[in-house]
Amino acid sequence: MRLILITITILISTICMGQKPSAAGIYYLENVMETASGFKLNDDHTFEFFFSQGALDRTGSGTWQQNGEQIIFNSNGKRDKGFIMVASRKNGTPDKVVAVKDPNTMMSSFVYARLISGANTTDFQKMTNEGETVFKFGNPEKIELLFELCPEMIHTFEPEHPGDNYFEFNFNPKIMDVWFEQFTLNLSDNRLKGSNPVLKGEEFGEFEYVKSK
């Protein structure tokens, strides 16, 4: 009986020694000035992401899984567009008008729009303080919107009817949410290494997130 207990103890110890420590924990971004960002990996394989830079705050959430040294992040559900089209109509003029209306007019001033028709594409134009921009262009097949505070995504829409030349949008309340789709970081020595879902540019190189003790 004693020999059996010793054998079981050795087996359990061997198994435990072979197990990797849990990746769960809080990881904070390092070495990016005036920026706070990080991931909270929960034991139930859900996660929370935060990003703060100046007056800009953004968050995201979803589930994470581990595949060897890789931690893979995915948001739940379906990704929503950051804008909602509320009007697509003819306005009786040859100009093409794209408008984004919001009670906070400062928000609209951070929006850029462009029109696409076949191989022809306009440059992105910034909205005025009134939340409008006007194009001299043919019949657009697509309208694209870019929100300066969330530059990682371009939102694409189509006119509801051929010949429409006035397009009005509202903000989706979820526009500031950070979306994750097979976003991957490498885990090594209590650090997550890789990219950042918000920060872009080669000047940053690889980001590191250090696990909080």
pLDDT tens, residue by residue, 183-206: 999 999 999 999 999 987 555 678
Q: What is the identity of the amino acid at 110?
A: F
Angle at the Cα of 98 (from 53 to 92), degrees rounded to 5? 165
Please report which confidence band the pLDDT of residue 24 belongs to, taking 50, 70 and 90 as the band edges. Answer: very high
Cβ pair 186, 69 in contact under 8 A: yes
Angle at the Cα of 52 (from 173 to 147), degrees rounded to 5? 45
**H helices within the chain, ranges in order?**
2-18, 105-108
Q: How far is CA 121 from the centre of its chain?
A: 25
The third-level CATH classification (topology) of the domain covering 22-78+177-211 is Lipocalin (2.40.128)
Residues of the chain with CATH 2.60.40.10: 83-171
pLDDT at position 22 is 82
**Residue 107, C-beta contacts closer than 8 angstroms, at least 6 positions apart:** 100, 171
Cβ pair 114, 140 in contact under 8 A: no
Q: Between residues 66 and 19, which one has the greater pLDDT? A: 66
Predicted structure pTM score: 0.80
pLDDT at position 59 is 96
* DSSP annotation of 16: H
pLDDT at position 152 is 87
May I ask the CATH class of domain 83-171?
mainly beta
pLDDT at position 203 is 56
The residue whose two tokens read 């769960």 is: 24
Q: Between residues 10 and 101, which one has the greater pLDDT? A: 101
What is the arithmetic mean of pLDDT over 124-152? 94
Residues of the chain with CATH 2.40.128.640: 22-78+177-211
